[in-house]
């Protein structure tokens, strides 16, 4: 987490120093909006990774929420609010489906979430065959959440901070939150000590779906439209894992925090943006991000140097 924070600060400082417009509220606002998008999906991934699972459908839930929101955010404030509720509920339902299949289906998360991802993407394609948005799309809420508060501070960042304070911290301190960590550390041990294993896993998947849907909602706020893009979904799934790894969340479960994942996401985004300000050919961006990801995951192998007995490698 400290590593991610350091990378983020250095990269972002470099970014600002080389940006033609410099350190202005507008630049920060744009950067924050793009960062929050990935940060939300990274938080979604964190919940599941903490239980030593993985969710390869977060990108597709994100896309589904994005497409759904492009239809539902219309009309009066009341209907918009209902629309937001509907989108979030859909995310919850997707997460719940994943959770039920993993827990009661006794299927491996990695296989099942690839399959449910195909279903979610199919539904997204069904409701939004062509990119666009519904007539009478209400932009007020979108503008409020992607704009600036008092003309200085990016509202999306405030929203993210609020989420951390209102959702993550209470979750972390709750019984179920601790159960999630316990399950990730060792499921049999957690079970033996009477931890509600199934409930903890279920809550983790549901929260994952919810946060991924929030990410999709923000995508709609940002673009005013929905698009069922397979490439985008895959990119967000991949980036969420990269962000989680950069943010110091252990893929073996039980260690790390959503705050780390947020910094991981911001750092990953800043790295991508750097190419832009240095005027690289955009064609090189996927390669550059891939290499960063590869280096980031290789960092985890530093643990190898502490191994005294070769047999420890296999445990």
Partner 1 sequence: MTTDKLDATTPPRPRWTSRIDMPVATAFGCILVLLLIGSLYSPNFLSPEYLLQQLKVGAFLGVIATGMMLVILLGQIDLSVPWAVTLGAMMASAATAYGPMGEIFAIPFGVLCGVLMGLVNGIGVAYLRIPSMIITLAVNAVAQGLMVAYTGGFAPQDSASPAMRYLAAGSVLGVPNAVIVWAITGVVAVFLLGRTTFGRAIYGIGNKEAAAYLSGIPTQRVVMIAFALCGGLAAFGGVLLAGYAGKAAQSMGDAYLLPAIAAVVLGGTSILGGRGNYLGTIAGVILITLLQSILSVMQIAEFGRQIIYGAVIIVMLLLYGREKSGR
**Which residues lie near partner 1 (CB under 8 A)?**
54, 101, 105-108, 110-112, 114-119, 121-126, 129, 187-188, 191, 230-231, 234, 238, 241-242, 245, 251-252, 281, 283-291, 293-294, 296-298, 300-301, 303-304, 310-311, 313-315
Contact 114, 56 (CB under 8 A): yes
Handedness of CA 48, 54, 58, 61 (dihedral sign): negative
Q: How near is the Cβ of 9 to partner 1 at its closest, in Å?
A: 24
CB of 305 to partner 1, least distance (A): 11
Please spell the DSSP secondary structure of 5-18, one letter per residue. Answer: HHHHHHHHHHHHHH
Q: Which is nearer to partner 1, 230 or 274 (CB)?
A: 230
Structure tokens at 262: 């947020």
Residue closer to partner 1 by CB (options 175, 291) is: 291
Residue 153 or 191 with smaller CB distance to partner 1 = 191
Helices (H), 247-257: none
- DSSP designation for 195: -
Distance CA 114, CA 55 (A): 8
Provide, rounded to whole angstroms, the least separation between the CB of residue 206 and partner 1: 18
Shortest CB 190 distance to partner 1, Å? 10
Q: Which is nearer to partner 1, 141 or 251 (CB)?
A: 251
Whole-angstrom distance, CA of residue 172 vs CA of residue 27: 33
Which CB, 77 or 129, lies closer to partner 1?
129
Q: How many Å separate Cα 117 from the centre of its chain?
A: 15
Nearer to partner 1, 9 or 115 (CB): 115
Nearest distance in Å: CB 50, partner 1: 15
Provide, rounded to whole angstroms, the least separation between the CB of residue 105 and partner 1: 5
Q: How far is the CB of 213 from partner 1 (least distance, A)?
A: 18
Identify which of residues 10 and 287 has a Cβ nearer to partner 1 in the complex.
287
Give CA–CA dist 173/191, Å, rounded: 20
Measured between alpha carbons, how far is 70 from 128 in angstroms, rounded to an integer?
9
Closest distance of CB 1 from partner 1, Å: 18
Between residues 162 and 303, which has the closer beta carbon with respect to partner 1?
A: 303
CA 64 – CA 213 distance, rounded (Å):
8
Query: Measuring CA to CA, how many Å separate 74 from each of 147, 156, 219, 291?
Result: 19, 21, 16, 42
Estimate the share of the chain in helix, then strand, then coil, as percent rounded to the nearest 5. Answer: 75, 5, 20
**How many Cβ atoms are within 10 Å of 223's Cβ, its own excluded?**
15
Sort 172 into a burial class: Cβ within 10 Å, 0-12 / 13-18 / 19+: middle
**Alpha-carbon span 221 to 241, nearest angstrom:** 24
């Amino acid at each position: 987490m400290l590593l991610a924070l350091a990378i983020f600060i250095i990269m972002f400082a470099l970014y600002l120093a080389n940006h033609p417009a410099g350190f202005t509220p507008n630049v920060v606002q744009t950067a924050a909006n793009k960062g929050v998008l990935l940060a939300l999906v990274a938080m979604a991934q964190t919940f599941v990774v903490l239980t030593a699972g993985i969710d390869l459908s977060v990108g597709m839930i994100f896309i589904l929420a994005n497409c759904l929101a492009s239809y539902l955010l219309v009309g009066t404030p009341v209907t918009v609010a209902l629309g937001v509720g509907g989108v979030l509920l859909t995310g919850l339902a997707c997460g719940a489906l994943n959770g039920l299949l993993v827990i009661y289906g006794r299927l491996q998360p990695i296989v099942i979430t690839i399959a449910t991802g195909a279903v979610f993407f199919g539904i997204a394609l069904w409701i939004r065959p062509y990119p666009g948005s519904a007539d009478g799309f209400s932009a007020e809420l979108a503008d409020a959440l992607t704009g600036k508060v008092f003309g200085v501070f990016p509202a999306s960042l405030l929203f993210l901070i609020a989420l951390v304070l209102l959702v993550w911290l209470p979750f972390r301190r709750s019984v179920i939150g601790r159960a999630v960590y316990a399950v990730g550390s060792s499921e049999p041990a957690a079970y033996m000590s009477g931890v509600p294993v199934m409930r903890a896993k279920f809550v983790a998947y549901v929260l994952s779906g919810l946060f991924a849907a929030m990410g999709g909602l923000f995508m709609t706020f940002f673009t005013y439209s929905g698009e069922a893009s397979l490439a985008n979904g895959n990119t967000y799934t991949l980036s969420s894992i990269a962000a989680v790894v950069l943010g110091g969340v252990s893929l073996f479960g039980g260690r790390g925090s959503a705050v780390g994942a947020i910094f991981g996401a911001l750092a990953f985004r800043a790295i991508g943006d750097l190419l832009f300000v240095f005027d690289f050919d955009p064609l090189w961006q996927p390669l550059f991000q891939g290499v960063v990801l590869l280096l980031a995951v290789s960092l985890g192998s530093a643990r190898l140097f502490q191994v005294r007995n070769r047999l420890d490698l296999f445990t």
